[in-house]
Structure 1
Amino acid sequence: MGRRARAKADLDTELTELPPELRWREWMGRVEAVIFAAPAPVTRETLARVVGRDCSLDLIIDDIRAELRGRPYELVTVAGGWQHRTRKNFGDAIRAAIGGASDGKALSQSETLILACIAYYQPITRSELSAFFGKEVSRDTIARLRGLDFIARGPRSPQPGAPYTYVTTKGFLVQFGLETLRDLPNMEALEDAGLLSKDKMLAGELPDPLPADDEKHDDDEEAADWTETG
């Protein structure tokens, strides 16, 4: 702990001996290096450790983004932080060269629909999910989504038996490139279109039954692509 504290103290963040333009370039380089090296989105608090007290991180980020225009990767805001990501229009080239995602996070059509329902109606119980889709949502499916760190247990429901509810996680935001849940497609628009409605679900007005997990569908590949982050 002492060694880490000394290392931080030894880093000159103010750079007062440098002229303003060189100081700004050094701050930009530090911020981009930290984001590039980090395995997860980097928060404002983390980046503040490598720049001066009067440095505007928002302006630094804007300048980095400007320099990345025309590059095959970009700096995005996701899950409360910043992260480098490949631009989506290069997805086909990447898949042609090295294949699809190998992180085991590709979802089946059923898993995709269930995860979307949780994202919009959280906190929601497994029995409510089952009622919505007209068939039982298995514990195995819930366990897989939890294992992928897409969902977690939420508060207990006031229903008889006080079952657990489920909510999405920060890992969900990271995987789908969302800064917050407010970045999901507009819920009111979906409800106005009759595509999603928890009130209808609880009233027993069910959508088409959920496809069985072992069935093959022409749009399975499209459903799996929902997990790609570009």
Structure 2
Amino acid sequence: MAKDRSEPELDRELSDLPPELRWREWMRRIEAVLFASASPVSREDLTRVVGQGASIDLLVEDLVADLEGRAFEIAQVASGWMFRTRPAYAPAIRAAADVGDQLLDLSEFDVAVLAAIAYHQPITREGLKDIFGKEISRDLIGRLHARDLIGTGPRSPQRGAPYTFVTTEHFLVAFGLESLRDLPDREQLEDAGVVGEVPKVDFG
């Protein structure tokens, strides 16, 4: 696609500005990009709006400090960074605008199954049945699929080569995780009440 000649080229280096103002402008550019995006912005994308000598990590670190005390924050999730409301303000948002997150549409058992998939992936429906002691319906799996919280993994080497299920990048974003290594341990899940209603679940 031909470049739009009517749009001026972005000055990334900002060599005409003193160092302090240059750094501040790079911070604001990163802030603008994150604010405009509904999904995590990768390091590669952020480097396109700042100079070659700029450190994305240090710029984000300074921006995080700059936002201290605000109702929103920058979170490193999945493959990049994004803005999110601080957890303390979630009740206020729901009360004022009836804005719920997608997990509110899931039952406690749905969330427990999602947690089992997260900890045991890739896992088949038969594997989930072994964990919960009962058949996991296709409708439940479909609900998790529809919210892009799980996807289809590799086929299992078991007889019939059934499909397995894995969590998605959107799962990481929804739970504010940088990677699956950040998943809480079983005790934390029980304290949060995520698996309390399903005593047969074993995340150990």
Q: TM-score range by the shorter chain?
A: 0.7 to 0.9
Alignment check: 8 A CA contact 2:47 2:56 kept: yes
SS in 2 for 1:85: strand
Q: Which residue of 2 aligns with 1:214?
A: none
Alignment check: 8 A CA contact 1:134 1:207 kept: no
Alignment check: 8 A CA contact 1:105 1:148 kept: no
2:44 matches 1:45: yes
Normalising by structure 2, what TM-score? 0.87
Instruction: Quote how far apart the aligned CAs of 1:2 are.
Output: 2.0
Alignment check: 8 A CA contact 1:132 1:207 kept: no
**1:209-228 residue pairs with structure 2 within 5 A?**
none
Instruction: Quote how far apart the aligned CAs of 1:131 are.
Output: 1.7
Instruction: Quote how far apart the aligned CAs of 1:18 are.
Output: 1.0
How many residues are matched? 192
2:92 matches 1:93: yes
Cα distance in 1 for partners of 2:169, 2:29 equals: 25
SS in 2 for 1:160: coil
Cα distance in 2 for partners of 1:155, 1:27 equals: 42
**1:1-230 residue pairs with structure 2 within 5 A?**
1-3=1-3, 10-101=9-100, 103=102, 106-186=105-185, 207-208=199-200
Q: Given the superposition, is the C-alpha separation of residues 63 and 17 from structure 1 closer, same or farther in structure 2, using an over 3 Å criterion? A: same
Alignment check: 8 A CA contact 1:123 1:167 kept: yes
Cα distance in 2 for partners of 1:181, 1:45 equals: 21
Cα distance in 1 for partners of 2:152, 2:104 equals: 19
Cα distance in 2 for partners of 1:133, 1:186 equals: 18
Normalising by structure 1, what TM-score? 0.78
Instruction: Quote how far apart the aligned CAs of 1:91 are.
Output: 1.7
Cα distance in 1 for partners of 2:19, 2:101 equals: 45
**Matched-pair identity in %:** 54
Cα distance in 2 for partners of 1:63, 1:113 equals: 38
SS in 2 for 1:152: strand
Q: State the superposition RMSD in angstroms.
A: 2.2
Q: Given the superposition, is the C-alpha separation of residues 104 and 177 from structure 1 closer, same or farther in structure 2, using an over 3 Å criterion? A: closer
Greater mean deviation of Cα atoms: 9-18 or 32-41: 9-18
Q: Given the superposition, is the C-alpha separation of residues 183 and 139 from structure 1 closer, same or farther in structure 2, using an over 3 Å criterion? A: same
Q: Deviations over 1:31-60 (max 9, x none)?
A: 000000011011100000000001011110
**AA of the residue aligned to 1:29:** R
SS in 2 for 1:3: coil
Cα distance in 1 for partners of 2:162, 2:183 equals: 26
Q: Deviations over 1:102-138 (max 9, x none)?
A: 6576310111010000000000000110121111101
